[in-house]
């Protein structure tokens, strides 16, 4: 069954992610474009470095062309933000053949709206509404046939996207500084692009095509990046950047090789956008993200809103208001002045610009925020468990039966997305179920690393015997 999750449809290649199913989901997308009059300018299609990415993207292009929708298709591997930029630039719908940070066995299908960001939840629902009536793949002619007849056009999308980045990042300052940057592309679509922007300054890791990702899911979290801190320290780099399989997410390490999480990056971006660039507007975060942002927004006189988890909820808010920073805990960040989309390459370069222009190291910038707003330590664990235990734990949380964790009294429960337990000292613990597998995602934040970890550990221990 084809089902869209928090960011597109993803499935295992040759099991559910097949050419026939790509054909069917493309038909549904085409019907949505035509029925809802989304655009008259067709679609922009790109693919990442996964197995059969080019072949799936061509099949998708042919399906759109057969249905009378004109196609621009990237002539090389392309990051998701490049496709989103293309959707905005051409006033078209963007399609990315990617499974983002999923394991190598997966591929996927992302839809980008003409505003240059993820299709809204309502738009995805509209696409899904067409799927039940599509029972068979559409017979297609060859890719070359549609190209010859002007229905498919190959374009150098990445070059155009790179030019856009050059116009928005102070590359001159970064170049003049002479700093070195380590970039871990994780065998993904961001490979080689930082080097193009900053030739001679980049230490490149995993920057070649490897559809198996060397057996590692291309997700830029600390445990998946053992080589990046070593490279930063060994080569004396000012920062280390890492991007996921389609380069819309960002992970970082500072000049000491210490991992910098999304909470810290969002806080830095809020400070930079507001206090350095002088921008006013709103800060939008998801439910699992640090409360430091709440405090910063209040002190800086910025609007503030918390949204359900999933960047599509952030993007929906960006396009409807004046948002200077928006993002989520899992590495998807966006700022005013760029597309309303996660862009791991742009954000990594913007924080590098921040380091160079401030004259401070990345660790000093982060410590400055902790000095001003207090330490905000976060922790997360994805607990694989039995479905019955997962449901029992969620039932207990929703019934407010968890009243104390790690010696702290729960004083408030927030159920915006999952159940957030707010403690007497301001710490919090969020329990949120996966919608597709027997997994509980458990997040915490406290004023010490030890307490943040203790909150998660004690909650994990509860799952086998949920409070009754």
pLDDT tens sequence across 317-352: 999 889 999 999 988 999 999 999 999 999 999 999
**Cα 240 versus chain centre, distance:** 18
Question: How do residues 7-38 score in pLDDT, each as one tens digit?
Answer: 899 999 999 999 999 999 999 999 999 999 99
What is the pLDDT at residue 100? 93
Question: What residue ranges do the domains of the chain occupy?
Answer: 9-158, 169-255, 262-342, 377-462
Instruction: Tell which residue, 181, 326, 160, has the closest CA to residue 243.
Output: 181
Confidence of residue 5 (pLDDT cuts 50, 70, 90): confident
**Cα 409 versus chain centre, distance:** 34
Candidates 3.40.50.620, 3.20.20.330, 3.40.50.2000, 3.40.120.10; CATH matching 169-255: 3.40.120.10
Alpha-carbon distance of 448 to 368, in angstroms, equals 17
What is the pLDDT at residue 468? 81
What is the pLDDT at residue 321? 87
Residue 75's φ and ψ, nearest 5 degrees, are -90, 0
What is the pLDDT at residue 327? 96
Q: Which CATH superfamily is domain 377-462 in?
A: Alpha-D-phosphohexomutase, C-terminal domain (3.30.310.50)
What is the pLDDT at residue 28? 98
Confidence of residue 126 (pLDDT cuts 50, 70, 90): very high
When pLDDT is averaged across residues 82-106 and rounded to a whole number, the result is 96
Question: How do residues 402-460 score in pLDDT, each as one tens digit?
Answer: 999 999 999 999 999 999 999 999 999 999 998 667 889 999 999 999 999 999 999 99
What is the pLDDT at residue 411? 98
CATH of domain 9-158: 3.40.120.10
Q: Which CATH superfamily is domain 262-342 in?
A: Alpha-D-Glucose-1,6-Bisphosphate, subunit A, domain 3 (3.40.120.10)
Tell whether the model's pLDDT for residue 1 goes beyond 90: no
Lowest mean pLDDT among 180-189, 238-247, 380-389: 380-389
Domains 9-158 and 262-342 share a fold: yes
Neighbours of 359 (CB within 10 A): 8
Residue 258's φ and ψ, nearest 5 degrees, are -90, 130
When pLDDT is averaged across residues 255-276 and rounded to a whole number, the result is 97
Q: In what helix (H) or strand (E) does residue 410 lie, and over which residues does it extend?
A: strand 408-414
Long-range contacts of 356-360 (CB under 8 A, 24+ apart): 356/170, 356/173, 356/174, 356/177, 356/179, 356/238, 357/170, 357/173, 357/276, 358/276
What is the pLDDT at residue 7? 82
Sheet holding 408-414, edge to edge: 377-384, 439-446, 428-433, 419-423, 408-414, 404-405
When pLDDT is averaged across residues 265-275 and rounded to a whole number, the result is 98
Tell whether the model's pLDDT for residue 380 goes beyond 80: yes
Identify whether the C-beta of residue 451 lies closer than 8 Å to the C-beta of residue 406. Answer: yes
What is the pLDDT at residue 436? 62
């Amino acid at each position: 069954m084809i089902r869209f999750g928090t960011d597109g449809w993803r499935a295992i290649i040759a099991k559910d992610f097949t050419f026939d199913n790509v054909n069917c989901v493309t038909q549904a997308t085409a019907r949505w474009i035509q029925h809802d009059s989304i655009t008259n300018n067709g679609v922009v299609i790109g693919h990442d470095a996964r197995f059969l990415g080019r072949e799936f993207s061509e099949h998708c292009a042919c399906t759109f062309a057969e249905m009378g929708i004109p196609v621009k298709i990237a002539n090389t591997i392309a990051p998701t933000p490049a496709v989103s930029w293309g959707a905005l630039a051409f006033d078209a719908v963007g399609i990315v053949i990617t499974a983002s940070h999923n394991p190598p066995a997966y591929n996927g299908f992302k839809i980008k709206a003409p505003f240059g960001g993820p299709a809204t939840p309502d738009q995805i629902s509209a696409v899904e509404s067409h799927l039940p009536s599509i029972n068979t793949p559409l017979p297609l002619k060859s890719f070359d046939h549609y190209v010859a007849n002007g229905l498919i056009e190959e374009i150098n999308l990445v070059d155009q996207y790179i030019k856009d980045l050059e116009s928005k990042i102070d590359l001159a300052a970064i170049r003049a500084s002479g700093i070195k940057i380590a970039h871990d592309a994780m065998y993904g679509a961001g490979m080689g692009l930082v080097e193009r922007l900053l030739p001679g300054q980049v230490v490149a890791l995993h920057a070649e095509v490897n559809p198996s990702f060397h057996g590692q899911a291309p997700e830029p979290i600390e445990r998946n990046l053992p080589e990046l801190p070593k490279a930063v320290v060994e080569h004396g780099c000012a920062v280390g950047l890492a991007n996921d399989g389609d380069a819309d997410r960002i992970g970082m390490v500072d000049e000491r090789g210490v991992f910098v999480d999304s909470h810290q990056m969002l806080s830095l971006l809020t400070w930079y956008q507001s206090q350095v660039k002088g921008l006013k507007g709103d800060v939008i975060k998801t439910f699992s993200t640090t409360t430091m942002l709440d405090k910063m927004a209040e002190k800086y006189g910025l609007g503030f809103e918390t949204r359900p988890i999933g960047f599509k909820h952030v993007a929906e808010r960006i396009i409807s208001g004046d948002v200077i920073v928006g993002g989520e805990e899992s590495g998807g960040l966006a700022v005013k002045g760029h597309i309303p989309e996660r862009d791991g390459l742009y954000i990594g370069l913007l924080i590098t610009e921040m380091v160079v222009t401030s004259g401070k190291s990345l660790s000093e910038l982060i410590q400055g925020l902790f000095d001003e707003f207090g330490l905000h330590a976060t922790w997360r664990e994805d607990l694989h468990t039995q479905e019955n235990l997962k449901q029992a734990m969620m039932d207990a949380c929703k019934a407010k039966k968890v009243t104390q964790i790690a010696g702290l009294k729960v004083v408030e429960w927030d159920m915006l997305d999952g159940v957030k337990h707010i403690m007497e000292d301001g710490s919090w613990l969020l329990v949120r179920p996966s919608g597709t597998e027997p997994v509980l995602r458990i997040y915490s934040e406290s004023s010490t690393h030890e307490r943040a970890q203790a909150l998660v550990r004690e909650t994990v221990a509860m799952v086998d015997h949920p409070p009754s």
